[in-house]
Amino acid sequence: MEINRKSPTIFEVAQLAGVSRGTVDRVVYGRGRVSQETVNRVRDAIAKLGYSPNPNASSLASKKEYRFACLIPEFTAGDYWEEIYRGLARGQEEIVKYNIRLDVHLYNQIDPASFRECCDKVLEDKPSGVIMNAVFKDEVTDFAVRLEEARIPYSFLDNKLDELNYLMYYGVDPYKSGALGAFLLTTRCEVEEIALVRLVRDSLHKADPNAQRRHGFLDYIEENLPGCTVHTIFIEPDKPQKTREILESFFRERPGVKHIAMTNSRVWLIDEYLRNHPDPQRIVVGFDDLEKNLACLKSGDVEFLVTRHIPQQASRLLKEFTECVITGKVPSRRNNFVHMDILHRRNLDDYR
């Protein structure tokens, strides 16, 4: 058996269609200035030969440079968005052949004005495409409209606004991931009480990025464990001392609560408490494979992490987006929900 496809060249197509290579090129990329009749002949020849352009030769010859603007939130080391950034950088390596430049614009996740500023800058730049996530609903909608006017294609990464005309989306189904987390937390247990730890976010922050995931989580509990009470605890990300106090007082009052979940990406925030108050019966479930979260898994303080390969999600979007923008074709699938990984201490070793 032999696996060995190699495609015919543009020259063969030209010969079969009785035209020159330049004409075939025009047809393939729809550069216009070709008579309908010739187009048809060339199309036939392409179909007959099963021709597809050699991307190596193509990018070698092409001097065109593409610029993609990526708008993502600012991040610090170990952050969720750092992983996305890594994915973009890695994805870029795979498409250098297409002469792509990535301009990453970082905005302040809790300040819509900073997002608007980025948008203005991007629009001035006139990039070949835009990749972003959808934090501020109004601002993103507005930006999308302006992009469409400027005929610049854009795609959503990680989350999206369904009603917009984005080219494609890559991310998980947050609702389902929440439900999966709830399942892992409660399966095979008689659970009567659950502690759901949430983050106090700055009031400027309009969007609640984890709302859907949390709803998935809560709906699962309601449907499958009707008698179960969910206690919500709020902690402040920047105040470890206060966090400790809040957790200590909560669990002092309710020592029977053995099931803890955090539907945001920072379960590591409660790791200090968990380490200092060991309890073999306790089960903790978190989300997203940040380095710090993985450490909690490894130590055994967190039992399961629901995640997906964050950088991969970004690099796959970038790759597909590039092909669509360059060849002008529509994506094979518009909404790409990536697989959710279940991570446990026992299958952690070779992740990544």
Partner DNA sequence: CTGAAAGCGCTAACAA
Partner DNA sequence: TTGTTAGCGCTTTCAG
Interface contacts to DNA, rule CB under 7 A: 7, 9-11, 18-23, 25-26, 28-29, 32-35, 37-38, 51, 53-54, 57-58, 60-64
Site for a second copy in 177-216 (CB under 8 A): 179-180, 183, 187-189
- C-beta closer to DNA: residue 62 or 335: 62
- C-beta closer to DNA: residue 100 or 135: 100
Over 312-334, what HEC string results? HHHHHHHHHHHHHHHHCCCCCCC
Q: How far is the CB of 340 from a second copy (least distance, A)?
A: 4
In the list 15, 43, 49, 89, the residue contacting a second copy (rule: CB under 8 A) is: 89
In the list 48, 101, 137, 275, the residue contacting a second copy (rule: CB under 8 A) is: 101
Cα–Cα distance between 247 and 234 in angstroms, integer? 9
Residue 332-351 contact track with a second copy, rule CB under 8 A, x = bound: -----xxxxxxxx-xx-xxx
Q: How far is the CB of 306 from a second copy (least distance, A)?
A: 8
Q: How far is the CB of 38 from DNA (least distance, A)?
A: 4
Residue 33 binding partner per list a second copy, DNA, none, with a CB distance cut-off of 5 to 8 Å that depends on partner kind = DNA
On whether the CB atoms of residues 291 and 228 are closer than 8 A, the answer is no
- C-beta closer to a second copy: residue 34 or 174: 174
Nearest to 178 by CA among 224, 141, 241: 224
Q: How far is the CB of 314 from a second copy (least distance, A)?
A: 11
- With a CB cutoff of 8 Å and minimum separation 6, the contacts of 137 are 161, 206, 207
Residue 228 binding partner per list a second copy, DNA, none, with a CB distance cut-off of 5 to 8 Å that depends on partner kind = none
Q: How far is the CB of 48 from a second copy (least distance, A)?
A: 21
- C-beta closer to DNA: residue 63 or 188: 63
Q: How far is the CB of 167 from DNA (least distance, A)?
A: 21
Q: How far is the CB of 152 from a second copy (least distance, A)?
A: 18
Residue 4 binding partner per list DNA, a second copy, none, with a CB distance cut-off of 5 to 8 Å that depends on partner kind = a second copy
Cα–Cα distance between 77 and 160 in angstroms, integer? 25
In the list 47, 57, 161, 330, the residue contacting a second copy (rule: CB under 8 A) is: 57
Binding flag, residue 56, a second copy (CB under 8 A) = yes
Query: In the beta sheet, which residues pair with residue 105?
Result: 71
Cα–Cα distance between 100 and 82 in angstroms, integer? 21
Estimate to the nearest angstrom the gap between the alpha carbon of 191 and the chain centroid.
Answer: 32
On whether the CB atoms of residues 235 and 268 are closer than 8 A, the answer is no
- With a CB cutoff of 8 Å and minimum separation 6, the contacts of 21 are 10, 11, 14
Q: How far is the CB of 351 from DNA (least distance, A)?
A: 34
Note every long-range contact of 143-152, with CB atoms under 8 Å and residues 24 or more positions apart, other chains counting. 143/119, 146/119, 147/123, 150/123, 150/126, 152/126, 152/127, 152/128
On whether the CB atoms of residues 178 and 230 are closer than 8 A, the answer is no
Cα–Cα distance between 286 and 278 in angstroms, integer? 17
User: Interface with a second copy by CB under 8 A: which residues?
Assistant: 1-6, 54-57, 59-60, 88-89, 92-93, 96-97, 99, 101-106, 172-173, 176, 179-180, 183, 187-189, 306, 337-344, 346-347, 349-352
